[in-house]
Amino acid sequence: MTNNNLNKSENTEGMKYDEALLLVRSEMDRTLSKSPLIIREYTKHLAASQGKFIRAVSVLICAEDKEGFIHPNAIKIAAAIELLHLATLVHDDIIDNADLRRGEVTLQKKYGKRTAVICGDYLLSVALTMAASIPNKQDYLSIDMPDYVGKVCLGELNQHVNNGNINLSFYQYLKIISGKTAALFEASFFAGAIFSGSNEVEAKKYRNLGNYIGMIFQLTDDCIDFENTVEDANKPVQSDFEQGVITLPLIHALKKLKDFKEKALNGGINRAEINEAVEKTGGLSFTRMVVKKYFNKSMRIINELDLTDHKKEMLISILNKASRLA
């Protein structure tokens, strides 16, 4: 869809980034704080531990037009994607039996797993309803939110199916995280591009950029699990393997050390041995090398796109945050 089509279908005024982000936060607060009474206590608990809105920020930045204005319809989609992300975190915490998320007690820890499951499902429903509520939604059918939800779910299921799979390959792992983490970033960048009036070629570049940045976020997070303390990360660390999750630093160590892999296959490795093996084989350096490749691909796309100075600066800022360079 082009800018001309947008102007023909709707006579709406755009807004600047700061105003748009405030409206997204307001939409999220309203949704979580004024939900139906039966669930309000739980959603208000979630409202107290909201994150950095990186996916919403991605939507808004990509939605900026040449004059630096953002189409109002981007607000609903940005908030919907943040709600989808929040729903996945609620479900992740149940699966991982996590006690802490963003420095706060998790929903499942405070209220129990059954309540948390239902709350996660409710958030998913609200997010899809919100995405479908935008005016002139027929103009945005290419933003297939249910399809992206499906990608996230299949990525999570793929991870679950491979829990404890010592033979998990490099490419199998990339496929898992391209669904469970990168899909919502891809949706964010693609949706923003559509709202900016980008043509199909440009929108595809934005979509690829979102995918690459999502991959970087997860791979960097894999490194943080080995490096950070609970206090620094505001969530459990040194816990992926204990939850059955095999991440790239460990995949690399298992490939390089045959005796270590044999012991792992027999169920005989502990956290200290994992840390030692990852350090010995340069598992974190290898993972950061993969991050660097995605980083370079991302910068190539950013340099190819016709961007204002502000938009380029903001996209690079998101990229740096994903890589923990900012």
Residue range 49-59, pLDDT digits in tens: 777 899 999 99
Determine the pLDDT at residue 137.
65
For 145, other C-beta atoms within 10 Å of its C-beta total: 19
Burial 210-221 (b: 16+ CB within 10 A, else e): bbbbbbbbbbbb
pLDDT band with cut points at 50, 70 and 90 for residue 237: low
What is the reported pLDDT for 3?
42
Virtual torsion, Cα 134, 136, 140, 145, nearest 10 deg: 30
The predicted pLDDT at position 8 comes to: 35
* pLDDT recorded at residue 65: 94
Q: Which residues touch 181 (CB under 8 Å, ≥6 apart)?
A: 155, 214, 215, 217, 218
Confidence at residue 104, expressed as pLDDT on a 0 to 100 scale: 87
Q: 16-20, 78-82, 235-239, 274-278: which range is least confident on average?
A: 235-239
Q: Find, among 164, 90, 170, 168, the residue nearest to 123 by Cα.
A: 90
Provide the CATH topology of domain 3-322: Farnesyl Diphosphate Synthase (1.10.600)
Return the pLDDT at 11: 45
What is the pLDDT at residue 228? 65
pLDDT of residue 325: 74
Residue type for position 36: P
When pLDDT is cut at 50, 70 and 90, the band that residue 135 belongs to is confident
Q: Name the pTM for this structure.
A: 0.90
Residue 141, pLDDT score: 63
Compute the radius of gyration of the chain from its Cα atoms: 20
Render pLDDT for 260-295 as a digit per residue (tens, 0 to 9): 999 999 878 888 999 999 999 999 999 999 999 999
161 has which bridge partners?
A: none
> Which pair of tokens denotes residue 225?
């699990």
Give the per-residue pLDDT at 2. 38
- For the cut 50, the answer to whether the pLDDT of residue 213 exceeds it is yes
Pick from 166, 177, 175: nearest CA to 250: 166
- What integer best gives the mean pLDDT of the chain? 89
> Is a pLDDT exceeding 50 seen at residue 4?
no
Q: Judging by beta carbons within 10 Å of its beta carbon (0-12, 13-18, 19+), is residue 203 exposed, middle or buried? A: buried
What pLDDT was estimated at residue 75?
95
Query: CA 282 to CA 252: how far, in whole Å?
Result: 8
Per-residue pLDDT, averaged over 22-34, amounts to 94
pLDDT range class, residue 5, cuts 50, 70, 90: very low
- The residue that leads in pLDDT, 26 or 146, is 26
**Helices and strands in the chain: count of H runs, count of E runs:** 17, 2
pLDDT higher at 229 or 17: 17
pLDDT at 195: 93
pLDDT at 106: 93
Q: Burial level of 107, CB count in 10 A (0-12/13-18/19+)?
A: buried
CA–CA gap between residue 209 and residue 192 (Å, rounded): 12
User: Using an 8 Å Cβ cutoff, are 281 and 257 in contact?
Assistant: yes
pLDDT band at residue 234 using 50, 70 and 90 as cut-offs: low
Residue 166 vs residue 242, higher pLDDT: 166
CA distances from 230 to 102, 124, 213 (A): 10, 28, 24
Element (H, E) at 30: helix 17-33
- Report the distance separating Cα 197 and Cα 3, nearest Å: 4
Answer for the pair 225, 232: CB distance below 8 angstroms, yes or no.
Answer: no
Least confident of 20-34, 78-92, 137-151, 224-238: 224-238
The pLDDT of residue 230: 54
Work out the pLDDT band at 17, boundaries 50, 70, 90.
very high
**Mean local confidence (pLDDT), 123-137:** 88
How does DSSP assign 193-204, residue by residue?
Answer: HHHTT--HHHHH
pLDDT over 50 at 302, yes or no: yes
HSE at residue 230, side-chain half, CA atoms within 13 A, is 10
Q: Tokens for 129, please give them.
A: 């309803």
Amino acid, single-letter form, for residue 229: T
